[in-house]
Amino acid sequence: MTKFAKSIQKFIKNPPENLGKPAFTSNSLKIMEKRSFLKDEKGKFLEGPKEMFWRVAAAVAIEDQKYVGKKKTAKKATGPEVQAEEFYTLLAENKFLPGARVLYEAGNYIDGTGQLASCFVLPVEDGLDSIFETMKEAAIVTLSINTEIN
């Protein structure tokens, strides 16, 4: 489970009231209920579409703060609140939608692993040392995300 500081959990769990309502088809909503919404141990939904999009937007904005301003970019540094609201708007207006893993894992304070990537590419050279080193790295990645190697 991913651990978040209490201040970050509060930010993630409390979307601003002024956020627009996301629009979905009934089929989209059913898929999100099955795959993306956080649930308690009894299967009760802890969030709806608005809360899920805010959770994802807030978690990504918090991580983005670690990189904004450190590199020469056209993007000016703003607080995570502004970035989260901008990202939320993109999600709610269906202008951008990340993959299912990101929708479930980003900001998941219930049972998330914190891993947002679905695919890992590891280098391997022709030689036993390199092959076994890559196998070791694959095992470490697998342990960190509770998945299987394909």
Q: What is the pLDDT of residues 112-132, one digit of tens each?
A: 777 787 788 899 999 999 999
Give the Cα separation of 50 and 134 in Å (integer).
Answer: 41
Residue spans per domain, the chain: 6-105, 119-150
Q: What is the pLDDT of residues 12-55, one digit of tens each?
A: 888 998 999 998 889 999 999 999 999 988 999 999 999 999 99
C-alpha to C-alpha distances, 32 to 51, 63, 83, 130, nearest whole angstrom: 12, 23, 23, 41
φ, ψ at 45 (rounded to 5°): -65, 135
What is this structure's pTM? 0.76
